[in-house]
Chain A
Amino acid sequence: MIKALVVDDEPRARAELISLLAGADDIEILGECANAIEAIGAINRLSPAVVFLDIQMPMISGLEMLAMLDPARMPRIVFLTAYDDYAVQAFEEHAFDYLLKPTDPARLAKTLDRLRKDAAPQAVDVLGASARLRHIPCTGLNSIILMRLDEIEYVASRAGGVFIVGLDGEERFTELTLRTLEEKTPLFRCHRQHLVNTERIKEIRFVENGLAEVRTVGGRTVPVSRHYLGALMACLGID
């Protein structure tokens, strides 16, 4: 069975694709998402093999979303588009699969055939997905907030998920993994469960056992583990 996720901001477009996919016995629809934020969380949680991904979506487009995925858990992507010359050209060039909306069932059958032979993820860098992130999407109570990097003091990963701590001291949940943030932003890994914005470090305090603590400009404390201390010092230019 090929596990698939459908991501599109239009409910009827999702319904249409799911209905078309229903004809194939070996495709299992894990779920559907209405925007990129939902999709990142779903991909992290459900680890689909294939994501049918709409390009035009609110706030974060399908292409932008790729950069926010954990590279280690990158699924195979089949793009969906109603009309986009440039993107289609890029897909053709880099041998990515894509479907035009409305979708011809025969064309979909071909795509599925290809997936059955090779569902290995492709390197999405060529589509600009390796680009560094300028914003981190955070989920608020009723909204999505795109946080700029200079608004972040540090990032903490806990049992409940990854939380971004802003200059205002507020903790915001994000679907992005710590690893994605480490790789796609200048936030610095100082601890197994923490990233820190080096621009916001005010002092480093050494505690016993070679452990240390960072105090941020905002007066908050972030632990530094022995393993990362040297690198952090080097990063800050301290011997």
Chain B
Amino acid sequence: MVVGSLNLTISLLEQTCVYLVIAHLLSRTRLFIPVMHVTIRLPHKVACYLIFSIFCIMGTYFGLKLDDSIANTRAIGAVLGGLLGGPSVGFAVGLTGGLHRYSLGGSTDLACAISTVTEGLIGGFVHRYLIKRGKIDLLFQPVRVAMVTFVAEVVQMAIILLVAKPFAVALHVVESVAIPMWIANTVGAGLFMRILLDRRVMVEKQSSVFSAKALKIAARAEGVLRSGFNEENSTRVARIIYEETGVGAVAITDRDKLLAFIGIGDDHHLIGTPITSELTQQAIANNQVMYADGNEVAYHCSISPQCRLGASLVIPLQGEGQQVIGTVKLYEPRTKLFSTINRTLGEGIARLLSTQILAGRYEQQMHRYEEQRQLLAQSEIKLLQAQVNPHFLFNALNTLSSVIRTEPELARQLVLNLSTFFRKNLKRPSDEACLADEIEHVNAYLQIELTRFTGRLSVDINVPEALGQVRLPTFSLQPIVENAIKHGTSRMIGDGRVTISSWCDQGDLLLSVEDNAGLYDSRPAGDGLGMNLVDRRIKNRYGRRYGLDVACGPNRFTRVTLRVPLEGRAA
């Protein structure tokens, strides 16, 4: 009896092993994904039911026939179905397995059918109990699963004793199969859960490896393509992808040609050559990820028949408005399979690169815009330069017309001043001039104004000769001096005075223009365009700490101070 029992136990365990091997193999397929987590979604429940029903029936088939009963491992399917799917799934699995068993006949057919349903329900109620307590994790403990199965098997034996007739036969059956079935089912259910757990850990590990790789690539490739989508930057990015993914080769193309190639086959995949691969051309034309795995979809290198690459993944890079601007290509040699991770990763990388290229283009546009703005400031100054205040011009001519008659010598001076003023205004070869030049320009202007406002205006220029060679942007002084007269002294009824001074301060040249009108604060809004331009241009050129500074004491003075570095261009 004991020996028989032991033999039966070992045989049943052997059957269980086969059963578990099948479980293990199936666990590697997508079929098992729904049963790896507790789920409440109907499709998952259905999947759960189907899988465990199969195992339930399989348990019957893998059983050992003893007289007219079967020592089996059916309980594993029923209990696990209940545990993972809940009472409804447990009941359904038990019913399916039970009906199947019933159909096979024998003295314990009905008892086995009833007990299988009961086992499914036991699993289901344990499920419900643990879920309600929020102890989902306990469901996945192999030891706990084994214990539940053991209890279920004990109940099964009791049911057989109660239901199967005659009782003597039932007792005989139970005596011979109870211990082997308890052991086999308990161990089997525990191991089954262990397999599920291992599989789950593996999936999680894979996804964490995936995330880690993706993050690493993102971090290393950050900003590389921003400075331009060209061969040099593409090669750097391709190398990063190649090193991090471990694929056979990585290529990056624009719409027409190869920009980068790293890895197997770089002897004939030459940078700069036009795209010949049909796969790539299709990817570009259709804005579509193209994949040739080398088995179902044939892959042949379009350049060399000797190429060792056997599979290729082509992912389009998208620019503004989803337009394709190039591709990223991952290759594997014929000897290696394309891992799913790398395929998914490839698409992620392409998105990352697309974003970078876009950001880069945007930045370049900003840069160009900035340059254009500077050019504009430059041309605005030119315009301002050429645009002599017509008031000044016609009043000057009127003054000239007057003095020609009375003071021919003064008239001659005036003509000379006018020509100096216009010459400086019209012809400035470079956009930098020395202070002496600027003073000459301003002086010509002031001499004309002095003649116009005879007796009402005085001018004082204090610029040390030593500073004459300091360079500053052309036409920086003139607008300030013109303002001092136009918006200053010419609006006074009393005598106006303009003072220009220059000195050094901590490596900077300071130039101040002061008038005694003090009307800066009350000038109409929008005036002083020229001064704004001068300020902007100096700040653009030398930095924010340079430029113009205005101080105004109402009705007493307005003082504009210009600051530029003494040593030409600052960093």
Contact = CB atoms under 8 A, between A and B. Distances in A.
Interface of A: 9-13, 15-16, 19, 34-35, 37, 56, 58-59, 82-84, 100-103, 142-144
A12 B452 contact: yes
B390 A83 contact: yes
A23 to B, nearest CB: 12
Nearest to A18: B402
A83 B394 CA distance: 7
A16 B401 CA distance: 7
B493 A144 contact: yes
Interface string B142-169: 0000000000000000000000000000
A107 to B, nearest CB: 13
Interface in B448-502: 451-456, 490-494
Nearest to A38: B493
- From DSSP, what is the main secondary structure of chain B's interface residues? helix
B406 A15 contact: yes
A103 B402 CA distance: 10
A58 B491 contact: yes
Nearest to B406: A15
Contacts of A16: 398-399, 401-402, 405
B493 A101 contact: no
Interface size class of B (residues with CB under 8 A): 20 to 34
Given A12-B402, A101-B398, A102-B394, 10 more contacts: A9-B453, A10-B398, A10-B452, A11-B453, A12-B452, A13-B402, A82-B391, A102-B400, A102-B401, A103-B401
Contact of A83 (B391, B453, B456, B494): B391
Contacts of A37: 493
- Looking at A13, A34, A58, the one whose CB has the most chain B CB atoms below 10 A away is A58
A101 B396 CA distance: 9
B540 interface: no
Interface string B216-238: 00000000000000000000000
17 contacts: A10-B395, A10-B399, A11-B454, A12-B402, A12-B454, A13-B398, A13-B402, A16-B398, A19-B402, A58-B492, A82-B394, A82-B395, A101-B398, A102-B401, A103-B401, A143-B494, A144-B493
A12 B494 contact: no
A10 B452 CA distance: 6
B128 to A, nearest CB: 88
A142 B494 contact: yes
B447 to A, nearest CB: 14
A239 B376 CA distance: 69
A82 B390 contact: yes
B308 to A, nearest CB: 81
A42 to B, nearest CB: 15
B397 interface: yes
B179 interface: no
